[in-house]
């Protein structure tokens, strides 16, 4: 049997990759990066780097960069909440997770965005659990019915409680790490077991250009020491907070991410790091950051290729849209993005459900995007040779009446070779009319309700639930909050 | 060159975003003791107005618009001290305190708003990014500000906008100092909910919104 080609998209020549990396090295050495965190500055000092204390600027030598790249693992194994299913983050593996962190949710019935609350977060987590093409969950929505101060730990609490998938999350405050870490340990049983079977990825965003803030730097340090993978989310906006050319933005992207990677390695040698991002093509007319722009996707694909060249796991915000409702734009931007991400071999693809410049989540879109993800995942499986001979034996005794429907060969392979949608319309016109002439968004709405009504929430055992709740309550109390909202499923 | 020709050159310098040219024209105007008010009103201001028109008509995008705004601001930096020396009170539409709320170090949007307000005749005190809430209030009191403009990119810092309004109310300053809010996650509903006086979704509407509150 001949081997199957994994279809792949590459934008950059080897020479251009090397040039981009070389310029990133030059920037790190000559301009340096801003690190607004004294602990990290201490680590850089220990490593012998030159530091300008007044501006909190660190100048990083090529030797240290190389050293840190050498100690960063090229792949990470994530595990679901039960610790049973393993997901490899590395190579050309592709895992989708819902885009985060939205501040609003799209209300299908009114067509308006509204603030989300506990109930929405639970529905979102439960629905993500049921999406067969979305491997990871994310703390994708901020809940408005609890004070902002604990919104980071609270969204993780609900995600862990209502969804079995590995989780992509992050802190909003330095103090947020501890309770969030404790929750993960509570699920696994011990710190060692969490180390052996990572359950969560923590996102950390540098501020363009070339700055790691106190909060994000602390998240890198704490995560590295706890063995939690840090996902570096550099996010230059072309021509506004990064160079206007795509290649120029890639230079800055690589420099910022390498800065984060080095902080992780200095905090703990061998710490898992994912080379990710959420850069965008800045719209010079509207002053907005379109995630559905083709240039945004080109930047994503470009740095993913560089991540692979550096032998690092990768991540990107792709497969999301800037549309405000589930219209044509929502589908086309999410479709193009998901397909390009899968073809580029992005390991963690954050996007499904998300719209309006990463500010809004939609349950209906999540269900539609799940099908898009399915198509993208099918695409990268490529065209395989299943049999030898491929087909000549099927034509033995071929007559004018021969058909393939009832052949054992068809039955054997059709589910392997083809995927079947649930939302995408493949009905005849008359049948579609008989079902009420529904648009994909309307069918998605029906699907959301059907799934959430039918399926029981995937729950944890009681002891762990109580432990999680105690950690959450303690964090709330510490911040002067006595009560948590009621959890209505 | 006659005055009309000079004014035309000033206008063109701003339209084309030629900062070097704008500064040298302003400097020459100072040295040749031209009438400052006239230089501003007939020379540079028509330039920024035209840039605004070109933006409105869709011809100019942000890089052109912001270059023009910065041109205008740097010319004004040269002209304004002369006005003060001559005892002419500079015609300012109002004193504005602007900044990004603490916890937030994103300031691209805030910078755009500051540039546009400055170019359109407001006197700007830019506190930068990651600014403590108390700082907004104390600075506003210190310079007797007319406006406080608050920017937030992160949802976590939006709440600071609300807190500032409460702090102003506590100090009985609310109403005297107008509060304008903006930033990616901010919308008109939020502005309304927290009782802000003005809201703008971008740097252009910020000018209109601020003028509306005059």
Could you give the ipTM of this predicted complex?
0.77
A242 touches chain B (CB under 8 A): no
- DSSP line for B76-113: HHHHHHHHHHTTPPP--SEEEEEEEBTT----HHHHHH
Q: What is the pLDDT along chain B (214 residues), one digit of tens a residue?
A: 789 999 999 999 999 999 999 999 999 999 999 988 899 889 998 998 899 889 888 899 989 988 998 899 899 889 988 887 877 766 678 999 999 888 766 677 788 888 888 888 898 999 988 889 999 999 999 999 999 999 877 666 788 888 999 999 998 988 889 999 988 778 888 889 899 999 988 777 888 899 988 8
> pLDDT at position B80, please?
84
Residue of chain A with shortest Cα separation from B63: A284
- DSSP line for A119-166: HHHHHHHHHHHH-TT---EE--B--TTS-GGGHHHHHHHHHHHH--S-
Q: Which residues of A touch B202 (CB under 8 A)?
A: 286-287
CB contact under 8 A, A142 and B203: no
Looking up tokens 């510490």 gives A478
Q: Which of B155, B158, B189 to mutate to test the interface with A (most CBs of A within 10 A)?
A: B155
Please give the Cα distance from B153 to B101 (Å, whole number): 9
CB contact under 8 A, B63 and A239: yes
Residue of chain A with shortest Cα separation from B106: A207
Please give the Cα distance from A346 to A300 (Å, whole number): 9
Q: Which of A34, A56, A100, A103 to mutate to test the interface with B (most CBs of B within 10 A)?
A: A103
> pLDDT at position B156, please?
66
Please give the Cα distance from B25 to B9 (Å, whole number): 8
Q: Which residues of A touch B185 (CB under 8 A)?
A: 103, 359
CB contact under 8 A, B159 and A148: yes
Size of interface A-B (CB pairs under 8 A): 36
Q: Which residues of B touch A239 (CB under 8 A)?
A: 63
Q: Which of A287, A361, A479 to mutate to test the interface with B (most CBs of B within 10 A)?
A: A287
**In this structure, are residues A58 and A41 in contact, taking their beta carbons and an 8 Å threshold?**
yes
Supply φ then ψ for residue A148, to 5 degrees.
Answer: -55, -30
Q: Classify the phi-psi angles of A12: left when phi > 0, otherwise alpha if psi is within -120 to 50, otherwise beta.
A: beta
Supply φ then ψ for residue B149, to 5 degrees.
Answer: -110, 125
Q: Give the dihedral sign, CA A400/A403/A407/A412.
A: positive
Which one of A213, A241, A287 has the shortest CB-CB distance to B62?
Answer: A287
Among B181, B127, B195, B178, smallest CA distance to B151 is for: B181
> pLDDT at position B105, please?
64
User: Minimal Cα–Cα distance from B145 to chain A, Å?
Assistant: 27
A339 touches chain B (CB under 8 A): no
User: Minimal Cα–Cα distance from A285 to chain B, Å?
Assistant: 5
Q: Which residues of B touch A213 (CB under 8 A)?
A: 105
CB contact under 8 A, B105 and A211: yes
Q: Each residue of A285-339: pLDDT tens digit? A: 888 899 999 999 999 999 999 999 999 999 999 999 999 999 999 999 999 999 9
Please give the Cα distance from A319 to A231 (Å, whole number): 18
Q: Which residues of A touch B58 (CB under 8 A)?
A: 285
Helical ranges in B16-94 per DSSP H: 19-31, 36-38, 45-56, 62-85
Q: Are strands B94-100 and B122-126 parallel, antiparallel or unpaired?
A: parallel
User: Two tokens at B88?
Assistant: 């002419």
Please give the Cα distance from A181 to A195 (Å, whole number): 11
CB contact under 8 A, A240 and B155: no
B163 touches chain A (CB under 8 A): no
Residue of chain B with shortest Cα separation from A147: B159
Q: Give the dihedral sign, CA A113/A118/A120/A121.
A: positive
- DSSP line for A40-92: HHHHHHHTT-EEETTTTEEE--HHHHHHHHHHS-S-EEEE-TTS--EEEESTT
> pLDDT at position B159, please?
82
Residues making up chain A, counted from first to last: 489
Q: Which residues of A touch B128 (CB under 8 A)?
A: none
Please give the Cα distance from A166 to A168 (Å, whole number): 7
Among A265, A263, A234, smallest CA distance to A250 is for: A234
A240 touches chain B (CB under 8 A): yes
pLDDT beneath 70: ranges in chain A: 489
Supply φ then ψ for residue A271, to 5 degrees.
Answer: -60, 140
Residue of chain A with shortest Cα separation from B203: A287
CB contact under 8 A, A287 and B185: no
CB contact under 8 A, A359 and B61: no
Specify burial of residue B146 (Cβ count, 10 A radius: 0-12, 13-18, 19+).
Answer: buried
Q: Are strands A76-79 and A86-89 parallel, antiparallel or unpaired?
A: antiparallel
Please give the Cα distance from A223 to A184 (Å, whole number): 12
> pLDDT at position B37, please?
86
Among A393, A402, A287, A278, smallest CA distance to A341 is for: A278
Residue of chain B with shortest Cα separation from A235: B106
B92 touches chain A (CB under 8 A): no
**In this structure, are residues B114 and B163 in contact, taking their beta carbons and an 8 Å threshold?**
no
Please give the Cα distance from B209 to A468 (Å, whole number): 47
Q: Which residues of B touch A284 (CB under 8 A)?
A: 61-63
Helical ranges in A310-381 per DSSP H: 328-344, 363-381
Q: Residue B148 belongs to what H/E stretch?
A: strand B147-151
> pLDDT at position B207, please?
87
CB contact under 8 A, B185 and A359: yes
**In this structure, are residues B101 and B182 in contact, taking their beta carbons and an 8 Å threshold?**
no
Q: Which of B17, B100, B156, B207 to mutate to test the interface with A (most CBs of A within 10 A)?
A: B156
């Amino acid at each position: 049997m001949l081997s199957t080609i994994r279809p792949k998209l590459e934008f950059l020549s080897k020479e251009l990759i090397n040039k981009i990396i070389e310029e990133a090295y030059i920037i790190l050495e000559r301009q340096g990066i801003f690190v607004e965190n004294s602990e990290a500055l201490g680590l850089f000092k220990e490593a012998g780097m030159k530091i300008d204390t007044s501006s909190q600027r660190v100048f990083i030598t090529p030797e240290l960069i190389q050293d840190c790249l050498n100690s960063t693992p090229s792949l990470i194994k994530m595990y679901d909440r039960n610790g049973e299913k393993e997901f490899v983050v590395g190579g050309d593996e592709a895992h989708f997770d819902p885009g985060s962190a939205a501040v609003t949710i799209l209300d299908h019935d009114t067509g308006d965005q509204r603030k989300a609350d506990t109930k929405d977060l639970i529905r979102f987590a439960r629905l993500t659990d049921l999406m067969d093409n979305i491997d990871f969950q994310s703390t994708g929505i901020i809940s408005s019915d609890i004070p902002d101060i604990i919104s980071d730990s609270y969204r993780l609490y609900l995600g862990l409680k209502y969804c079995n998938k590995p989780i992509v999350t992050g802190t909003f405050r330095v103090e947020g790490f501890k309770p969030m870490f404790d929750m993960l340990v509570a699920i696994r049983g011990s710190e060692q077991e969490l180390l052996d079977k990572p359950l969560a990825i923590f996102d950390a965003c540098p501020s363009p250009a070339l700055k790691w803030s106190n909060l994000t730097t602390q998240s890198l340090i704490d995560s590295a020491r706890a063995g939690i993978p840090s996902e570096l989310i550099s996010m230059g906006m072309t021509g506004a907070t990064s160079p206007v050319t795509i290649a120029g933005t890639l230079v800055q992207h690589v420099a910022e991410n390498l800065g984060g990677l080095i902080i992780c390695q200095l905090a703990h040698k061998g710490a898992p790091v994912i080379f990710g991002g959420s850069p965008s093509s800045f719209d010079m007319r509207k002053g907005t950051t379109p995630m559905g722009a083709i240039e945004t996707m080109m930047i994503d694909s470009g740095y993913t290729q560089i991540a692979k060249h550096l032998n690092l796991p990768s991540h990107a915000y792709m497969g999301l849209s800037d549309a405000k409702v589930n219209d044509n734009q929502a589908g086309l931007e999410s479709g193009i993005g998901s397909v390009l991400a899968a073809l580029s071999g992005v390991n963690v693809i954050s996007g499904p459900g998300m719209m309006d410049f990463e500010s809004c989540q939609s349950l209906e879109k999540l269900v539609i995007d799940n099908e898009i993800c399915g198509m993208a995942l099918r695409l990268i499986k490529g065209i395989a040779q299943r049999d030898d001979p491929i087909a000549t034996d099927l034509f033995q005794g071929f007559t004018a009446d021969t058909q393939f429907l009832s052949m054992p060969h068809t039955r054997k392979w059709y589910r392997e070779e083809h995927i079947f949608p649930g939302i995408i319309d493949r009905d005849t016109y008359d049948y579609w009319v008989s079902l009420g002439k529904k648009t994909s968004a309307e069918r998605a709405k029906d699907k959301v309700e059907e799934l959430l009504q039918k399926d029981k929430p995937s729950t944890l055992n009681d002891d762990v639930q109580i432990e999680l709740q105690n950690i959450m309550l303690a964090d709330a109390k510490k911040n002067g909050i006595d009560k948590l909202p009621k959890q209505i499923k | 060159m006659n005055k009309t020709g000079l004014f035309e050159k000033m206008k063109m310098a701003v339209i084309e975003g030629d900062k070097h040219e704008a500064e040298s024209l302003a400097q020459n105007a100072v040295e040749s003791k031209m009438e400052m008010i006239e230089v501003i009103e007939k020379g540079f201001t028509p330039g920024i107005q035209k840039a605004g028109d070109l933006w409105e008509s869709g011809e100019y995008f942000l890089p052109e618009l912001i270059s023009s705004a910065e041109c205008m601001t740097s010319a004004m930096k040269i002209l304004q001290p002369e006005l003060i020396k001559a005892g002419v009170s500079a015609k300012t539409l109002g004193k504005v305190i602007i900044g990004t709320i603490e916890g937030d170090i994103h300031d691209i949007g805030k910078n755009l708003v500051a540039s546009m307000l400055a170019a359109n005749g407001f006197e700007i005190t830019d506190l930068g990014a990651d600014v403590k809430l108390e700082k907004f209030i104390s600075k506003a009191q210190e310079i007797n500000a007319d406006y406080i403009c608050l920017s937030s990119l992160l949802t976590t810092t939006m709440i600071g906008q609300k807190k500032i309004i409460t702090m102003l109310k506590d100090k009985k300053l609310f109403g005297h100092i107008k509060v304008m809010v903006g930033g990616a996650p901010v919308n008109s509903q939020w502005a309304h909910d927290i009782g802000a006086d003005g809201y703008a979704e971008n740097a252009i509407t910020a000018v209109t919104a601020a003028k509306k509150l005059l």
